[in-house]
Copies of this chain bind each other. A is one copy, B any other.
Amino acid sequence: MIIVMKRNSTAQDVKDVVAGIKAAGLNPGIIEGQERNVIGVTGDTAKIDIRTIRADHRVAEVLRVSEPYKLANRAFHPENSQIQVGTELIGGERLAIMAGPCSVENEDQIVNLAKRMKAAGANFIRGGAFKPRTSPYSFQGLELEGLRLLELAKRETGMPIVSELMSSDYLDEFVKRVDMIQIGARNMQNFDLLKAVGKTQTPILLKRGLSATYKEWLMSAEYIMSEGNQNVVLCERGIRTFETETRNTLDIQAVPVMKKKTHLPIIIDASHAGGQAYLVPAGAKAGVAAGADGLMIETHEDPANAWSDGEQCLTPDEFDKLMDQIRILAQVEGRTIAPKLARI
């Protein structure tokens, strides 16, 4: 941590600030400059609130050099983490391809769709049972019945289930029934929910908040990990910008940035990023080319009659075609996807 003193600070001011730092158990070192004095601080600075030090009237600026996250930090865990989710491993050679409807609607829908997705190359079922909707008047999901239907689809296909948890009230049900708990973008800083899922060992898919910085995203991962659950996978799903023609702006650079900063795997949700089906293939292929560990893609037999988010769903045929392209592209990046099967 670097503390820059104000131009007019005196030797006594520097001495006082240095004393405060020592009192906090950290190690200060002074550089005397022509215009300003600077104090370098080493030690465990992650617990220091730099905004409090900035409140000192003698201090001009405080800059953090070490990242405030430890467990998620690649500096302390140089190897890539691989996360076991049911029968699948995320972060290894095989890409995690999570496909399925925005909302689970009924047994036929989810079971048939899951079979089609698996045949095309998916290895995870995704489906919303509890839905975070902007409007209280919109369909809010089948809730526990939705989880039951996802279990049926898993029984038929063997694919692990990914589904979103919105409230810790249902945490026990999710731990029992799903293989991976999704924390949605709007709950990325619902710290009580993060702590609750951190107390389980169920793998967590942590979506990036709509306007979360990389650092805030990793601090939310750190919340989960600091409670004991190290099984965290990140999911870039587009951020909010001034451009409204697309639902969100897919931040493809999140992939190399996260690969540098953390050992956790990262996947791309190409459906929410674009918000329109025609954008999904480009986003998905870009994600794989940029080095992502997997993809999340919403699909529906009949998008115009989907109960939610039809606009961004691929049809099974479109998904099939995309998987054929991803299969080749993945090889260029040294990755694979599950083999294509006859219809099952």
Is A213 a contact of B242 with CB atoms below 8 Å?
Answer: yes
Is B191 a contact of A55 with CB atoms below 8 Å?
Answer: no
Is B279 a contact of A256 with CB atoms below 8 Å?
Answer: yes
Q: Please tell me if A52 contacts chain B, counting CB pairs below 8 Å.
A: yes
Q: Which of chain B's residues have a CB closer than 8 A to the CB of A186?
A: 189-191
Q: Which of chain B's residues have a CB closer than 8 A to the CB of A177?
A: none
Is A31 a contact of B35 with CB atoms below 8 Å?
Answer: no
Q: Which of chain B's residues have a CB closer than 8 A to the CB of A2?
A: 2, 4, 38, 63
Please provide the chain A residues from 282 to 315 with a CB less than 8 Å away from any CB of chain B in the complex: 282-283, 285-291, 303-313
Are A249 and B253 CB-contacts (below 8 A) given A65-B61, A168-B167? yes
Q: Which of chain B's residues have a CB closer than 8 A to the CB of A223?
A: 136
Q: Please tell me if A15 contacts chain B, counting CB pairs below 8 Å.
A: no
Is A249 a contact of B249 with CB atoms below 8 Å?
Answer: yes
Is A191 a contact of B286 with CB atoms below 8 Å?
Answer: no
Q: Report the Cα distance A167→B192, complex, angstroms.
A: 6
Identify the closest chain B residue to A238 (Cβ): B253
Q: Report the Cα distance A185→B283, complex, angstroms.
A: 24
Is B304 a contact of A52 with CB atoms below 8 Å?
Answer: yes
Q: Which of chain B's residues have a CB closer than 8 A to the CB of A305?
A: 52
Query: Nearest chain B CB to A150's CB is how many angstroms away?
Result: 20
Q: Report the Cα distance A232→B20, complex, angstroms.
A: 43
Pick from B169, B195, B255, B306: contact of A52, CB below 8 A.
B306
Q: Which of chain B's residues have a CB closer than 8 A to the CB of A176?
A: none
Q: Please tell me if A32 contacts chain B, counting CB pairs below 8 Å.
A: yes
List A residues at the B interface (Cβ < 8 Å): 2, 4, 7, 27, 29-36, 38, 40, 42-43, 46-47, 49, 51-57, 60-61, 63, 65-66, 68-69, 75, 132-139, 166-169, 186-187, 189-193, 195, 210-211, 213-216, 219, 222-223, 226-227, 239-246, 249-253, 255-257, 260, 273-279, 281-283, 285-291, 303-313, 325, 328-329, 332
Given contacts A51-B309, A213-B243, 11 further A-B contacts (CB under 8 A): A29-B33, A34-B42, A49-B310, A63-B63, A187-B190, A214-B245, A241-B249, A252-B286, A256-B274, A286-B287, A328-B332
29 A-B interface contacts by CB (under 8 A) = A2-B2, A4-B65, A30-B31, A34-B42, A35-B42, A36-B65, A36-B66, A46-B137, A49-B310, A51-B275, A51-B309, A54-B310, A54-B311, A55-B304, A55-B310, A55-B311, A55-B312, A240-B242, A241-B242, A241-B249, A241-B251, A242-B244, A244-B244, A252-B286, A253-B282, A256-B274, A256-B282, A285-B290, A289-B329
